[in-house]
Structure 1
Amino acid sequence: MIKVRVAAFSISLDGYGAGPDQSLENPLGVRGMELHGWAFPTRTFQTMFGKDDGETGVDESFAARSFENVGAWILGRNMFGPVRGPWPDESWRGWWGDEPPYHVPVFVLTHHARPPLDMQGGTTFHFVTDGLEAALDRAKAAAGGRDVRIGGGVATIRGYLQSKLIDEMHLALSPVLLGTGEALFAGLDLPRLGYACRERVEGERATHLLIARDG
């Protein structure tokens, strides 16, 4: 059965999934990179940057699990790039260089159409203009029976949570206070939506929480 899931999504102790003032210089917002301090030393993420080493342990276990059995991704437009409004041209090809870390179809939510973008390593970006559910339908069809991972950002995850379309969510609670930014749960009543915390595991640099929806 295909799961729709969030994995390895970092939040601060005060509930922010990104810092304020996202820009080309600060794609995760001011101080947003601090949320991911648990992930960068792991073997999984070091390998993504072409290195052969990296830490093992609890944090690495969750980082590795986040990529398992993923057949397609969904991203909000901000997760693809800092360009706003209509695409001025097709020169922006994502944050990750010629070979993004996805290696499967990726569906980018946007209000502005753009042709699919084929990248090295098996990633193809598809730009979806007709909403969350349409993107999810296309991602499930492309996933080949594997899971669909909702990669973020905060607004995208909130939209899928509000629609009760996420089955499972792994959050990495980082020991960071941002004070401001994009609040993941503001105004959401997760118990009313059917979600509960099913697992809590202490890692080396973060606390890992598994939140799932009944049924």
Structure 2
Amino acid sequence: MSKLRVESFTISIDGFGAGPNQNLENPLGAGGPALHQWAWPTKTFRTLFGHDGGTTGTDEEFAARGFRNIGAWIMGRNMFGPIRGPWPDMNWKGWWGDNPPYHTQVFVLTHHPRESITMDGGTTFHFVTDGIFSALARARQAANGLDVRLGGGVATIQQYLRAGLVDEMHIAVAPILLGSGERLFADLNMLSLGYQCAEHAASSNATHLVIKKKM
């Protein structure tokens, strides 16, 4: 069976995966953009956003791994956009512009129904209102044997961790402190949930950890 993977999810030294006060102008919250300074310069991320060049080395190796063998995505509504409650209109089509970097089918968890949106570059957003298990089943079917990548935000990852559904996580720890925000491992006992650190490596920009569910 395909794996459910968290990839390139960055937290601060004090454990926050996003800063406080997220909004349209600041989707990662106060201080949040500094989390991802390891990722943006890499060849993988520059290519995703239509740029040439990029860094190689440890950061690039982990960034590139995150897109290998991925056939579908799951994300929380906050990762799709800042709107809360019923959809006020259908004009908002995500943070990422007309050609999002997913290039697969993406299943967005929400409490409010919406028709699927087909974007440029092969991305289609589907809006799932019947929970995390349904989203995973649909994503696995869409992935057709490949793995499913679980995007943010923090609350979405926590739901899948508590259900024991995440097979593997790549967490990057950025050398910054945020002080407040959304803490990824809050109220989670990862050891009792069956996870262990299987790999670690460091660059000058981040410490990379691979956490896997024990077989």
Shift of 1:190: 0.5
In the alignment, structure 2 segments of 5+ residues that lack a partner are none
1:41-56 to structure 2, matched below 5 A, reads: 41-56=41-56
- Summarize deviations over 1:123-169 as a string: whole Å, max 9, x none: 00000000111100110111010000001100000000000000000
The residue aligned with 2:36 is 36
Quick one: distance in 1 between partners of 2:70 and 2:48?
A: 16
Counterpart check, 1:113 vs 2:113 = yes
Quick one: distance in 1 between partners of 2:29 and 2:109?
A: 19
In the alignment, structure 1 segments of 5+ residues that lack a partner are none
Contact 2:16–2:181, Cα closer than 8 Å, also in 1: yes
1:58-77 to structure 2, matched below 5 A, reads: 58-77=58-77
Superposed CA RMSD in Å reads: 0.7
Quick one: distance in 1 between partners of 2:152 and 2:137?
A: 17
The residue aligned with 1:167 is 167
Shift of 1:49: 2.1
Q: Secondary structure at the match of 1:152?
A: coil
1:118-129 to structure 2, matched below 5 A, reads: 118-129=118-129
Runs of 4+ displaced beyond 2 Å? none
Quick one: distance in 1 between partners of 2:147 and 2:203?
A: 24
Contact 1:75–1:151, Cα closer than 8 Å, also in 2: yes
The residue aligned with 2:85 is 85
The residue aligned with 2:153 is 153
The residue aligned with 1:198 is 198
**Which amino acid counterpart does residue 149 of structure 2 have in structure 1?**
R
Q: Report the TM-score, using the length of structure 2 for normalisation.
A: 0.99
The residue aligned with 1:7 is 7
- Summarize deviations over 1:102-129 as a string: whole Å, max 9, x none: 0000000000000000001110000000
Shift of 1:65: 0.7
Q: Report the TM-score, using the length of structure 1 for normalisation.
A: 0.99
Q: Provide the identity percentage.
A: 63
Shift of 1:204: 3.2
Q: Secondary structure at the match of 1:125?
A: strand
Counterpart check, 1:98 vs 2:95 = no
